Copies of this chain bind each other. A is one copy, B any other.
């Protein structure tokens, strides 16, 4: 699917960021998360296909933040491919800070849709990754809300014929055998094994 010399921009929140270089993460500056693992896995599997992967994730971002920096951090970089993983903070703010402005699911869909619309014509392919919550109880309030946001991602992937990476499903498969605490304490920021789950789901989806 990817071809030699193409550029892939990966945008998102802290899960994508993971200490990447500023202003744009590349090569050794891709950060300590799934982006670096994706880069390494692809390089090892297909050393003949050299990709120019750029990381523009920023910790704490919600979809509204992506909108504010879309021109500089996506369009100006002129990628052939783009992956987006956003939504965890849109949901989390409903729970840790009961008060203040919130991004409701309708606004989330609307903004994400508009970002895709203005980007799609200029790129070769789009990869949409669901947000997730590392919690097996699907009635947990935050998990429940997260699933609604993930459903939006699925809907938009269908609408725009994007590659769909069901990160939540990948975590669920793992959690059938091991407890959430084996991946992280706060159910959001995983350890290396958790990032490998995301990276493997990504690589499988694009294969």
Question: Which residues does A use to contact B, with CB under 8 Å?
Answer: 5, 7, 27-28, 36-37, 39-41, 43-44, 47-48, 50-52, 92, 94-100, 137, 139-142, 173-174, 176-182, 185-188, 191-193, 195-197, 200
B residues near A39, Cβ cutoff 8 Å = 192-193
Q: In the complex, how many angstroms separate the beta carbon of A24 from the nearest chain B beta carbon?
A: 12
The contact of A193 among B44, B95, B99, B173, by CB within 8 Å, is B44
Having A43-B178, A95-B181, A95-B182, one finds 12 other A-B pairs with CB under 8 Å, namely A27-B96, A27-B97, A39-B193, A40-B193, A40-B195, A44-B193, A47-B178, A50-B99, A96-B179, A98-B179, A137-B140, A185-B186
Q: In the complex, how many angstroms separate the beta carbon of A180 from the nearest chain B beta carbon?
A: 8
Interface contact A28-B191, CB-CB below 8 Å: yes
Which of chain B's residues has its CB closest to A27's CB?
Answer: B97
B residues near A41, Cβ cutoff 8 Å = 196
B residues near A7, Cβ cutoff 8 Å = 99
Interface contact B137-A139, CB-CB below 8 Å: yes
Which of chain B's residues has its CB closest to A6's CB?
Answer: B99
Q: In the complex, how many angstroms separate the beta carbon of A7 from the nearest chain B beta carbon?
A: 8
Which of chain B's residues has its CB closest to A175's CB?
Answer: B47
When chains A and B are docked, how far (Å) is the Cα of A60 from the Cα of B98?
A: 31
23 contacts between A and B (CB under 8 A): A7-B99, A36-B192, A37-B192, A37-B196, A43-B174, A43-B193, A44-B193, A44-B200, A47-B174, A47-B176, A47-B178, A50-B98, A50-B99, A52-B100, A95-B180, A95-B181, A96-B179, A96-B182, A96-B185, A97-B182, A98-B178, A98-B182, A185-B187
